[in-house]
Chain A
Amino acid sequence: MLWLCIQLPKLSLEALTRAHRAGDTAPVAVSQSNLIIEANLAAHALNIEPGLSIATACAYCPGLQLLERDTEREAQLLQQLAQWAYGFTPVVSPRIGNPDSKALSEGPACLFLELGGSLKAQGGLAPLLQQLGKELHKMRITHRMGLGHSPSAAHLLSQLPEHRQWLAETRTPPSPQQWKQWISFAPSKLLDCSNKAIAKLYACGIKRVSQLLAIPLSEVGNRFGRDFIDYLARLNGSRPDPVPGYQPPAEFHSELFFPSPLDNSEQLLFPAGRLVRELCRQLQRRQLYSPTLYWILDYGSRGAEVVNVELSRPLFDPQRLIALTKLQLERVELKEPVQALALRCKQLRPLETTMLREDFFEESGNQHESYQLIDKLKARLGHQALSGVTLKESYLPEQAWASADSLNLQSKPRGHQLHPINAPRPNWLLSRPDRIQQRDHSLFYDGELQLLQGPERIDGYWWQHHRHARDYYIARGPQGSLYWVFQDLTSEDWFLHGVYS
Chain B
Amino acid sequence: MNNAENFMQNKPLSEQTAAHPAQPLQQLLTRPDIWQLASRQRQPRTGISTGYRGLDALLASHGWPRGASTELLVDKAGIGEVSLILPALAEMTRQNRLVILLNPPHIPYAPALAQAGVQLEKLLLLHPRGQRDQLWAAEQALQSGACGALVSWQGRETLADKDLRRLQLAAREGGGLHFHFRPGSSASTPSPAALRLQLHSDGKQLALQLLKQLNGKSGQRLHLARNPDLTRRDQPLH
Contacts from A to B (Cβ < 8 Å): 363, 366-367, 369-370, 372-374, 376-377, 380-381, 384-392, 397, 400-402, 404, 406, 408-413, 419-422, 424-431, 451-455, 471, 473-474, 476-477, 479-483, 487, 498-501
| Other 11 A-B pairs with CB < 8 A, given A482-B231, A500-B230 | A388-B124, A400-B110, A406-B124, A420-B112, A427-B86, A428-B107, A431-B107, A473-B236, A477-B76, A479-B76, A480-B203
B191 close to chain A: CB less than 8 A: no
Known: A381-B133, A409-B121, A425-B112. A366 touches B97 (CB 8 A): yes
Question: Within the complex, what minimum Cβ distance (angstroms) separates A367 from chain B?
Answer: 7
- Nearest CB to that of B145 among chain A residues? A369
Tell me which of B120, B136, B226, B231 contacts A389 (CB under 8 A): B120
The CA of A373 and the CA of B157, in the complex, are separated in Å by 26
B75 → A minimal CB distance (Å): 8
> Could you tell me the distance in whole angstroms from the C-beta of B13 to the nearest C-beta in chain A?
47
The verdict on B33 contacting chain A, using a C-beta distance below 8 Å, is: no
Interface residues of B (CB under 8 A from A): 75-83, 86, 96-98, 104-115, 120-129, 133, 136-137, 140-141, 144-147, 200-204, 226-227, 229-234, 236-238
Chain A, residue nearest B136 (CB): A380
With A381-B133, A401-B107, A498-B109: A388-B123 Cβ-Cβ less than 8 Å:
yes
The answer to whether A370 touches B234, judged by C-beta atoms less than 8 angstroms apart, is: no
Tell whether, in the assembled complex, residue B82 and residue A451 are in contact, meaning their CB atoms are under 8 Å apart. no
Residues of A within 8 A of B231 (CB): 452, 476, 482
Tell me if A380 and B201 are in contact (CB < 8 A): no
Contact residues in B for A388 (Cβ distance below 8 Å): 120-121, 123-125
Contact in complex: B121, A453 (CB < 8 Å):
no
| Closest chain B residue to A390, Cβ basis | B120
Which of A400, A406, A500 interacts with B111 by CB under 8 Å?
A400
Cβ–Cβ < 8 Å partners of A384 in chain B: 127
Contact B113 A389 (CB under 8 A): yes
Residue among A406, A410, A428 with the highest chain B CB neighbour number at 10 A? A428
Given contacts A385-B127, A479-B76, contact A370 B238 (CB under 8 A): no
Q: A-B pairs with the 7 shortest C-beta distances?
A: A480-B201, A481-B78, A401-B110, A369-B146, A428-B106, A370-B146, A420-B111
B83: chain A residues at CB < 8 Å are 427, 500-501
Kindly provide the distance from the CB of A395 to the nearest chain B CB, expressed in whole angstroms: 12
Set of chain A residues within 8 Å of B229, measured between Cβ atoms: 424
Other-chain residue from A377, A425, A429, A473 in contact with B141 (beta carbon distance below 8 A) = A377
Query: Which of chain A's residues have a CB closer than 8 A to the CB of B226?
Result: 482, 500
> Smallest Cβ distance from A33 to chain B, in angstroms?
54
A501–B121 touching, CB < 8 Å? no
Which residue from chain A places its CB closest to the CB of B104 in the assembled complex? A428
Q: What is the interface of chain A mostly: helix, strand, loop, or mixed?
A: mixed
Asked if A501 and B110 make an inter-chain contact with CB atoms under 8 angstroms apart, the answer reads no
A sample of 30 inter-chain contacts (CB < 8 A) reads A370-B97, A370-B146, A370-B147, A373-B141, A373-B147, A380-B137, A385-B129, A386-B124, A386-B127, A388-B120, A388-B123, A389-B107, A389-B108, A391-B110, A400-B111, A401-B111, A409-B123, A420-B114, A426-B112, A427-B83, A427-B108, A427-B109, A427-B113, A454-B238, A471-B238, A477-B76, A480-B204, A482-B79, A483-B78, A501-B82
- Closest approach, in angstroms, between the C-beta of A458 and any C-beta of chain B? 13
Partner of A426, one of B109, B129, B141: B109
Residue of B109, B127, B146 with highest tally of chain A CB at under 10 A? B109
Which residues of chain A are near B76, meaning CB under 8 Å? Answer: 477, 479-481
* B146: contacting residue among A366, A411, A430, CB under 8 A: A366
Q: How distant is A421 from chain B, measured CB to nearest CB, in Å?
A: 6
Measured in the bound complex, the distance between the Cα atoms of B109 and A389 in whole Å is: 8
Q: How many Å lie between the Cα of A487 and that of B236 in the bound state? A: 13
Cβ contact of B98, chosen from A370, A376, A404, cutoff 8 A: A370
Contact B201 A381 (CB under 8 A): no
Residues of A within 8 A of B122 (CB): 409-410
Q: In whole angstroms, what is the CA distance A367 to B147 when docked?
A: 10
- Beyond A377-B140, A413-B121, A500-B83, whether A428 also contacts B108 by CB under 8 A is yes
* B235 CB, min distance to chain A CBs, angstroms: 9
Q: Name the residue of chain B whose CB is nearest to the CB of A408.
A: B121
- In Å, the complex CA distance between A101 and B137 comes to 62
Evaluate whether A427 and B112 lie within 8 angstroms (CB atoms) in the complex, with A366-B146, A373-B141 already known: yes
Interface contact B233-A366, CB-CB below 8 Å:
no
Nearest chain A CB to B10 CB, angstrom units: 48
Question: Measured between C-beta atoms, what is the minimum distance from A417 to chain B in Å?
Answer: 10
CA distance A293 to B45 in the complex (A): 46
Bound-state CA distance A487–B196 (Å) is: 39
A433 to B217, CA, bound (A): 43
Is the beta-carbon distance between A377 and B126 smaller than 8 angstroms?
yes
Contact indicator A499/B77 (Cβ below 8 Å): yes
Determine if B146 and A381 form an interchain contact, defined as CB atoms under 8 angstroms apart.
Answer: no
Within the complex, what minimum Cβ distance (angstroms) separates B120 from chain A? 6
User: Which residues of A sit under 8 angstroms from B80, Cβ to Cβ?
Assistant: 482, 500-501
Query: In the complex, what distance in Å separates the CA atom of A32 from the CA atom of B191?
Result: 71
In the complex, residue of chain A having the shortest beta-carbon distance to the beta carbon of B205:
A480
A373 and B146 contacting across the interface, CB-CB below 8 Å: yes
A501 close to B77 (CB less than 8 A)? yes
Collect the chain B residues with CB atoms within 8 Å of residue A387's CB.
Answer: 124-125, 127
Would B121 and A411 count as touching, CB distance under 8 A? yes
Contact A380 B125 (CB under 8 A): no
Contacting pair B106 A381 (CB below 8 A): no
State whether A454 and B141 are in contact (beta carbons under 8 Å apart), knowing that A424-B230, A481-B201 are contacts in the complex. no
Query: Residues of A contacting B147 with CB < 8 Å?
Result: 370, 373
* B137 with A381: CB separation less than 8 A: yes
B81 touches which one: A380, A410, A501 (CB < 8 A)?
Answer: A501
Per the bound structure, the CA–CA distance linking A93 and B136 in Å amounts to: 50
Q: How far is the CA of A454 from the CA of B230 in the complex (A)?
A: 11
Quote the shortest CB–CB distance from B113 to chain A (angstroms): 7
Query: In whole angstroms, what is the CA distance A424 to B227 when docked?
Result: 9
Q: Determine the residue in chain B with the shortest Cβ distance to A402.
A: B110
In Å, the complex CA distance between A389 and B81 comes to 20
- The answer on a CB contact under 8 Å between A373 and B98 is yes
Do B230 and A482 touch (CB < 8 A)?
yes
**Using Cβ atoms and an 8 Å threshold, which residues of chain A touch B232?**
452-453
Pick the residue among A402, A412, A425, A476 that contacts B115 (CB under 8 A).
Answer: A425
